[in-house]
C-alpha cells in the first residue's frame, strides 16, 4: 500500500473537494479546522500508514473530553470519515467503516424576529451616510431574497437583474446556481447605493456589488458586526443573538406564514433537501401558537 505524508494527503483531499465536489473555500476552511484539531490531538500521525479506522473514535473521545458541543463533534466525525474514505478510495488506507455513533444533536429552532422588528432593523442605518446606505441596501436585499451572507458578500453586478426583479445566485453550496426573485422595494435601495455611494468608491470598476472603503468586497465578518450594531441601535430584543442569518430565517418563516409553498421556499433558499427547509414550519407553527396563546389568555 503506497504511503503519503499527512500534509500531502490533506492537500490532495482539498483539491478533490474543490475541483470535483465543487465545495466553497469557506467549507474547506471548516474541514481544514477539523483536520488540524485531529493532528493536534495525535501529533505522532505523520503519514497515511499511521492512520487507523479507530482514530475516528479516539478523536471523538478527545472532543468529548474537551466538552465540545454535539454539533461540533458530529461535524468532526463526518470530516474524518470523509477524509478516510477518500484515502481508502485512493489506495492509501483500508476502508474506515462506520463504527462511531454520532452524538444526538438537540433541535435548535432558528432565531426569528417579528415583521415589525425586521422593519426597525432595516430602518436603523442612515441612508444619507455612504457606508450606511450600503448597509441599508445589504439588509434590504438579504431580507428580500433569503441569501446566505457569503452569497450576499459575493454578489456581482451582472447577477442583479433589475428588469425582471431577480438575482442569479451562482455561489451557493455545491457551486449550484439558482434564480431568486427580489422585491422592487429592495431593488430601489440597491439602485440607490449602486448609482450613489458606490460610484464614488475607489473600487467602482469591481464586479462585486457591495464594497468597503478600500474598494474590496465587504467581508462576512464586517457585515456580521454591522447587523448586531443595527440591532442594538433599533433596540431589538435579544440583539446579541441577531446575525445576518437571522434575516435569512425571517425571510423563510415570514414567507411560510404568508402561505408560500414549502417547495418554493426550498428553491429560493437553495436547500438541497426539503427536510432542511421544514424546520421553518416548526418556527412558523410555534409563532402562531404563541400568538394564539397570548390572545386567549388576555385580560
271 is catalytic: yes
Per annotation, catalytic residue among 173, 289, 292, 299: 173
Q: How far apart are CA 206 and CA 95, in angstroms?
A: 47
Backbone angles phi and psi of 51, in degrees to 5: -85, 140
273 is catalytic: no
> DSSP assignment of 47-75, as one string?
BGGG--TTHHHHHHHHHHHTT--HHHHHH
* Cell reading at 57: 473514535
Per annotation, catalytic residue among 136, 228, 249, 271: 271
Burial 168-180 (b: 16+ CB within 10 A, else e): ebbbbbeeeeeeb
Enter the DSSP assignment of 104: P
Per annotation, catalytic residue among 37, 75, 248, 254: 248
Q: How far apart are CA 234 and CA 226, in angstroms?
A: 12
Per annotation, catalytic residue among 31, 143, 193, 280: 280
248 is catalytic: yes
Per annotation, catalytic residue among 37, 148, 228, 254: 148
Contact status, residue 286 vs residue 109, Cβ threshold 8 Å: yes
Positions annotated as catalytic residues are 148, 173, 245, 248, 271, 280
Amino acid at each position: 500500500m503506497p504511503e503519503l505524508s499527512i500534509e500531502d494527503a490533506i492537500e490532495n483531499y482539498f483539491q478533490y473537494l474543490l475541483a470535483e465536489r465543487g465545495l466553497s473555500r469557506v467549507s474547506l476552511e471548516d474541514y481544514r479546522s477539523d483536520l488540524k484539531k485531529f493532528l493536534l490531538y495525535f501529533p505522532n500521525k505523520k503519514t497515511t500508514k499511521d492512520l487507523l479506522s479507530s482514530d475516528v473514535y479516539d478523536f471523538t473521545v478527545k472532543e468529548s473530553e474537551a466538552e465540545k458541543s454535539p454539533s461540533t463533534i458530529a461535524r468532526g466525525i463526518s470530516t474524518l470519515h470523509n477524509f478516510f474514505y477518500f484515502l481508502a478510495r485512493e489506495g492509501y488506507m483500508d476502508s474506515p467503516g462506520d463504527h462511531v455513533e454520532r452524538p444526538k444533536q438537540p433541535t435548535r429552532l432558528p432565531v426569528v424576529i417579528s415583521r415589525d422588528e425586521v422593519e426597525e432593523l432595516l430602518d436603523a442605518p442612515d441612508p444619507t451616510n455612504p457606508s450606511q446606505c450600503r448597509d441599508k441596501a445589504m439588509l434590504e436585499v438579504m431580507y428580500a431574497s433569503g441569501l446566505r451572507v457569503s452569497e450576499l458578500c459575493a454578489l456581482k453586478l451582472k447577477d442583479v437583474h433589475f428588469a425582471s426583479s431577480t438575482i442569479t445566485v451562482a455561489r451557493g453550496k455545491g457551486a449550484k446556481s439558482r434564480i431568486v426573485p427580489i422585491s422592487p422595494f429592495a431593488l430601489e435601495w440597491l439602485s440607490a447605493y449602486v448609482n450613489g455611494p458606490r460610484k464614488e468608491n475607489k473600487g467602482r470598476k469591481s464586479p462585486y456589488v457591495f464594497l468597503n472603503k478600500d474598494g474590496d468586497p465587504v467581508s462576512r465578518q464586517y457585515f456580521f458586526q454591522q447587523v448586531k450594531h443595527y440591532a442594538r441601535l433599533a433596540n431589538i430584543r435579544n440583539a446579541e443573538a441577531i446575525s445576518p442569518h437571522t434575516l435569512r430565517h425571517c425571510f423563510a418563516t415570514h414567507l411560510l406564514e404568508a402561505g408560500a409553498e414549502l417547495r418554493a421556499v426550498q428553491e429560493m433558499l437553495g436547500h438541497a433537501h426539503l427536510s432542511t427547509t421544514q424546520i421553518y414550519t416548526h418556527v412558523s407553527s410555534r409563532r402562531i401558537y404563541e400568538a394564539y396563546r397570548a390572545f386567549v389568555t388576555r385580560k
